A and B are shown apart, each in its own frame.
Chain A
Amino acid sequence: MRPLKLILTFWSAALASQMEYRANFVMATIEAVLEAVGKLFGVYLFYTTGFSFGGWRWQEALLVLGMATLVDAFFIGVLNPNLRRISEHVQKGTLDFVLLKPVDSQLWITTQYFSVVGVPFFASGLIIVIYAGLSVHLPVLGWLLLAAAAIASLALAYAIGFLFASTAIWFVKVFNVVFFLNALVWTGQYPVSAYQRPFRIFMTYVLPIYFMTTVPAELALSRQSPAALLLAFGVAAIALFASRAFWRFALRYYTSASS
């Protein structure tokens, strides 16, 4: 398991370099708590009107919210810091070094850093998911389906994030492209059935946010047959494959910076 060992090495180095900035971690914790409170308040606000996101009990809706928080945390802690670095690599020409390493460039470039700021967000997501799962009395199978779908969901997030960031090869400065993706994924905090139709279509077929947050909850709550899990993994696999192919394709256009 060489890749796994590599990631562990990267992350422990990243962790060590961040130990100095504990204040940062404290700030992130405050932020994560505030954000969780805000998100819960949002759900509460909708349910006070009697609207139920298209037939979800509020505890069920919280399962989606928790999944969305986990995906956000994955972006904050792992994807954003790495994907933004692609831009930097292209700008400074240091992508050269990456490409010359005897390691898969995609693996190298997307796993190098890990930000502790993501941890409190991940914790808050986990708490929401567990609370929601317990309050709707998820059966063991439900938990298992949820966990499996969560893996597919993160893989999908990874693939789409990488796909977006690969455009750095042409556009160089794509910090905000990742930021834009964050904003879109952030909307996955409500079940897609809560949205107006055009938005629902966009979130399912254009940018598959549906598979990241709603599908895992639907699977756990048996609103979908377990076979849908295969669909979730299928979508993730296609996205992974596409992102990898796109990266290879993009590299053909890479002209190393001169200075």
Chain B
Amino acid sequence: MRWLLKKAAVLLSTYHAYMLEYRGEILFWLLSGITPFFFMAVWMEAAGQGYTEISTDQYARYFFFVFLTRQLSLVWVSWNLSESIRTGTLSFRLLQPLDPLWHHLADHVAERGVRVPLMVPIFIVFTLLYPGTLTWPGWERALLGLVAVALAFLTNFFASYILGLLALWFEDAVELSEVWNVLITFFSGMLAPLSLYPETVQKVLAWTPFPYLVYLPSALWSGMPVAAGWPLVILLGWTLLFYLVSRGLWRLGLKHYSAMGA
């Protein structure tokens, strides 16, 4: 137990230091996540002309939290994995008495420690441009939203883990994570609050993980009418599913890696 905490602490602090070296990169990455604000600008214009029932303030609030949700749940582990497979550093990791998963998880969590402070200026600019739109959703929604974001992060993480492991069999499987990102952009509620989607589309999407990854936490935080209970359970189900598949694939992958010559 003592060693468990010690390992976690060392991994987190080292990767935090590592990510600090990349703060400039992270800042620009953060800035390239501002597309939700452009969608916001169009929806607010539409709302201003009276075309939708949602008010301009609600749009501002919703899209700010979409931005926040995306920033908190971004992952790149597929890239890390395929890189370690390509360069062979995976071999070193396999010879250490610690599952490489923990390295990657620590790397991602520690990065948030750099990313979140960098988001403060964006928060300030936003509150100056749209004063009064950001309101406290209440403890319950705030916490539920946090749980949803954490689960969304883990779901993204394990999905990305799966895509990265595919690099063991197919070179350049990294492109697949782009497909995942495209699907998130258009079908998770980044483009518009999900309630504006046609009903059949909403019904179909409910069967995919996407709406839970962005819409659920954003709607919880921005006070949109959304049920928390069932959607959270479904999201948890997706998280577990991706976790189990990623572990299974990891085992298969190791066998393959060791059969094909590491």
**A touches B in complex, CB < 8 A:** yes
B175 near A31 (CB under 8 angstroms)?
A: yes
Question: Which of B110-118, B136-144, B192-200 lies at the interface with chain A?
Answer: B192-200
Contact B171 A23 (CB under 8 A): yes
- Check A42–B186 contact: CB distance below 8 A: yes
State the Cβ distance, A136 to closest chain B Cβ, in Å.
21
Residues of B in contact (CB 8 Å), total 40
A186 to B36 CA separation, bound complex (whole angstroms): 11
Contact among B41, B49, B185 with A195 in the assembled complex (CB-CB below 8 Å): B41
Interface mask (A15-38 → B, CB under 8 Å = 1, otherwise 0) = 000000101100110110011011
Q: How far is the CA of A122 from the CA of B174 in the complex (A)?
A: 21
Asked if B179 contacts A46 (CB within 8 A), the reply is: no
A177 touches B196 (CB 8 A): no
Cα(A187)–Cα(B41), bound, Å: 11
B198 touches A27 (CB 8 A): no
For the complex, would chain B's binding face be called helix, strand, loop or mixed by DSSP majority?
helix
Q: Which range contains the number of A residues in contact with the other chain?
A: 35 or more
**Would you call B31 an interface residue if the criterion is a C-beta within 8 Å of the partner chain's C-beta atoms?**
yes
Contact in complex: B52, A194 (CB < 8 Å): no
Instruction: Report the bound CA distance from A31 to B196 in whole Å.
Output: 25
| Contact indicator A199/B41 (Cβ below 8 Å) | yes
Query: Closest CB of chain A to B184's CB: distance in Å?
Result: 10
With contacts A30-B179, A187-B38, A198-B129 known, is A46 near B171, CB below 8 A? no
Q: Is A48 a contact of B41 with CB atoms below 8 Å?
A: no
The answer to the question of A241 belonging to the interface, with a C-beta cut-off of 8 Å to chain B, is no
Known A21-B172, A34-B179, A38-B185; judge A196-B32 contact (CB<8 A): no
Interface of A is mostly: helix
The answer, yes or no, to whether B51 is at the interface (CB within 8 Å) is yes
Contact B35 A186 (CB under 8 A): yes
| Stretch from A94-102, A152-160, A168-176 at the B interface | A168-176
| Contact indicator B32/A183 (Cβ below 8 Å) | yes
Minimum CB distance partner of A181 in chain B = B32
The docked-state distance in angstroms from the alpha carbon of A197 to that of B32 is 21
Say whether B176 faces chain A, with CB atoms less than 8 Å apart: yes
Asked if A45 is an interface residue, CB under 8 A from chain B, the answer is yes
Which positions 1-49 of chain B face chain A at CB distance < 8 Å? 22, 24-29, 31-35, 38, 41-42, 44-46, 48-49
Which residues from A are CB-within-8-Å of B52? 49, 51
Chain B residues in contact with chain A, CB under 8 A?
22, 24-29, 31-35, 38, 41-42, 44-46, 48-49, 51-52, 129, 170-172, 175-176, 178-179, 182-183, 185-187, 191-192, 196-198
